[in-house]
Amino acid sequence: MSVEATASRFDSVKWVVVAILVAAAVIGNSYFSDQSLLYRVLGIVAVSAVAGFVALQTAKGAAFWSLVKGSRTEIRKVVWPTRQETVQTTLIVLAFVVLVALLLWGLDTLLSWLVSLVIG
């Protein structure tokens, strides 16, 4: 139980460090606005990489990384449709969209005509 409390206390400290790094990147970008955009972007990328590394050292960061690895494994198992299947499905969807659009246009026209008859 004390190990969990210690880990969560250190996790809080790590998250504070991440927040400080992000704030430093934002403030540094503003402070060094007279410098080249390339150098500022490289600095932000470097600070973001360090902040990401620190965040991955927390329990939530480790769980997130595990989720990413599991997602990559699952996406490799997906059977993607062929080009022909994709084109056929797209054409079917477009045909139904046009059909529904025509039906709604006809219904709107009919209702407009009926309302104009009632109103005069």
Q: Whole-model pTM above 0.85?
A: no
Across the range 58-86, mean pLDDT stands at 93
Whether 111 contacts 103, CB under 8 Å: no
Mean pLDDT of the chain: 91
Taking 50 as the threshold, does the pLDDT of residue 109 lie above it? Answer: yes
User: Of 2 and 62, which is predicted with more confidence?
Assistant: 62
Q: Are 14 and 54 in contact (CB under 8 A)?
A: yes
Tokens standing for residue 71: 């997602």
Are 18 and 51 within 8 A, CB to CB? yes
H or E, element range at 22:
helix 2-31
Residue 102 has pLDDT above 50, yes or no: yes
Structure tokens at 72: 């990559």
pLDDT on residue 104: 98
pLDDT band at 120 (very low <50, low <70, confident <90, very high): confident
| Stretch 83-89: mean pLDDT | 97
